[in-house]
Structure 1
């Protein structure tokens, strides 16, 4: 079944690429397997290991964009990271009230399902609040990723790429430095083990990003480049996982709930586009495309792939999403969970 799943995913990616659909190797597997899972009785299997392998190589490629110069320039973006994150979290909370009225779900379910803080983390937080429906939170978080991954790439395909002021990059790697690579591998393994222990989201992706950024910042020299065929396979691996993630969702999703999820997420995407437009006037070093993908309420892996394909500044997109993840997981999520527990007891 694994081979059959891969052949269907790869074929769909090839077809999407052939007809010119954006992000073909991610969207092709995702859409084809989602539809086949929902409307046929064909059995599929996709090991978690393949998704992890895909995330590792995507993490290496994303990490390679963090040069010493780009990391230094990131400090100038810090106030914008705070502004963007607080704005998106605030609007997400307002939209959770709209979702509550439309769907009839509890305030705890609506709030925890609306926060763009990661599927597994929001589900875990929802399990700590008695009035929260973990199943609905799972559907909300998963469907938001699906809506963002399908809508944002098509929008970015129509956005001019523009140019980056003070755009920086390292010189081409002429010789492979084994010492640098070994240091990167040791750091990556260490980060991965530590992140797994504290249940940090996507350690397979985050560990190589951080280890690559550290090695390249210290050495001012690129470590390794991921071949294009490996990046294609990585996108297929991730796309297949996303497509199969919605297990027979028709059995759990009513039209009322579906409409509330789609409407609130489209509203959040529209707000992110408006916010990105404003930020281009505040900070013209980055393009509208950079800020739009940075603000989009999708997963860091999916938005980084979108940045790779559109030519957006990958280090900017990744750093903005990293900051938002840290803020929601370490501050907003726990604070809101505590407040909901106290308030709902009263």
Structure 2
């Protein structure tokens, strides 16, 4: 019966996600799956089992999409503006970590929760790390990261619209969907993904199921320059699989959310957006970029949502993509492993202290 309930849950998630997409909701298949799961769990039944491997399938697809965005053209765009890209990414990360201290005081949460809640533009990665870290509050991390996406979608277009029309309207060509260009040579990617995942798991690298396909496709793009994008249907499925997984975990925790936490999440995310605007105004004094392009390049949101806003604003999507892709890789390859190392070291230190006591 629990597997039949799981089928009903999938149907409910698909219907709600499609409805949210129809009304124009941001990330409808992710939010729809999460909302459907919470409602199903609280109002219908708790008697269903969601296999962890389904959530991992979602992570593999998301990782493939991130990897496919990293092309030789993107690398060239980064090389032309690498100093600004590196400095702005560093400043945004530093700003987030500073605000993590205030978030910790406002909510009384652990350092692990505050840090994972504060890192911008890395929703899936931070949620997965929160799952793995026992001292992290998964509910608070997830809700803070999710609410930031919503606030970015609301506030960033409003702020950017103040200078609408100053963008360069320099659009990248969209890569062809994978299923329309697939060749036998691409079997190398399929063979490489599980090998890289196993190596990353052995190295205890964070989010291996996302990093594996990302690195495999990145390598393919660099070696062949035969690029592609992940089909939209696959991305919907990824959001659905991952959204249900998070929804299951949130279902038992949602009642713990209180007004203090909600206020803290709102204040922290508004401060991140305001701080980002301050960083951009500072860089405008030393660069030739216009406000719209630079603000959208630095904005603390997911690359998908920001690029949609950039197109609507007539902004330079090539530049904005390169900034966000660099930040994604900077977070995944440097910040996430560093956070993971520091959290593990803290865990060992507490364990030694407990053993000594």
* TM-score, with structure 2 as normaliser: 0.72
Instruction: Give the superposition deviation at 1:320.
Output: 0.9
Residues 249-264 of structure 1: pairs in structure 2 closer than 5 A: 249-264=253-268
Aligned to 2:126: 118
Aligned to 1:191: 196
1:323 paired to 2:326: no
Is 1:68–1:218's contact at 8 Å kept on the other side of the alignment? no
Is 1:112–1:122's contact at 8 Å kept on the other side of the alignment? no
Aligned to 2:13: 9
Q: Deviations over 1:37-82 (max 9, x none)?
A: 4x53532543322222222223323322222222233234543343
Aligned to 2:213: 208
Structure-2 separation of matches of 1:52 and 1:337? 23
Structure-1 separation of matches of 2:215 and 2:73? 16
Instruction: Give the superposition deviation at 1:13.
Output: 0.9
- What SS does the corresponding residue of 1:287 show, helix, strand or coil? helix
Aligned to 1:31: 35
Is 1:10–1:29's contact at 8 Å kept on the other side of the alignment? yes
Is 2:21–2:29's contact at 8 Å kept on the other side of the alignment? yes
Residues 88-237 of structure 1: pairs in structure 2 closer than 5 A: 88-104=92-108, 108=111, 112=115, 115-116=118-119, 118-121=126-129, 134-136=135-137, 138-155=138-155, 162-163=167-168, 165=170, 167=172, 176-179=182-185, 181-222=186-227, 224-237=228-241
* TM-score, with structure 1 as normaliser: 0.74
- Greater shift after overlay, 239-248 or 190-199? 239-248
Structure-1 separation of matches of 2:271 and 2:203? 33
1:287 paired to 2:290: no
Residues 178 and 198 of structure 1: CA distance in aligned 2, closer, same or farther (over 3 Å): same
Q: Deviations over 1:230-254 (max 9, x none)?
A: 2222222222233333242245444
Structure-1 separation of matches of 2:187 and 2:230? 16
Structure-2 separation of matches of 1:171 and 1:233? 19
Aligned to 2:314: none
Compute the RMSD of aligned alpha carbons: 3.9
Instruction: Give the superposition deviation at 1:215.
Output: 1.3
Is 1:62–1:314's contact at 8 Å kept on the other side of the alignment? no
Which of 18, 25, 36 pairs up with 1:21? Answer: 25
Is 1:147–1:262's contact at 8 Å kept on the other side of the alignment? yes
Aligned to 1:130: none
Residues 63-78 of structure 1: pairs in structure 2 closer than 5 A: 63-78=67-82
Residues 185 and 5 of structure 1: CA distance in aligned 2, closer, same or farther (over 3 Å): same
Instruction: Give the superposition deviation at 1:182.
Output: 2.3
Instruction: Give the superposition deviation at 1:19.
Output: 1.9
Gaps of 5+ in 2: 120-124, 312-316
Structure-2 separation of matches of 1:5 and 1:30? 11
Structure-1 separation of matches of 2:270 and 2:99? 11
Instruction: Give the superposition deviation at 1:277.
Output: 6.1
Residues 329 and 109 of structure 1: CA distance in aligned 2, closer, same or farther (over 3 Å): closer
Residues 102 and 209 of structure 1: CA distance in aligned 2, closer, same or farther (over 3 Å): closer
Is 2:197–2:212's contact at 8 Å kept on the other side of the alignment? yes
Residues 19 and 113 of structure 1: CA distance in aligned 2, closer, same or farther (over 3 Å): closer
Q: How many residues of Structure 1 are paired with residues of Structure 2 in the alignment?
A: 324
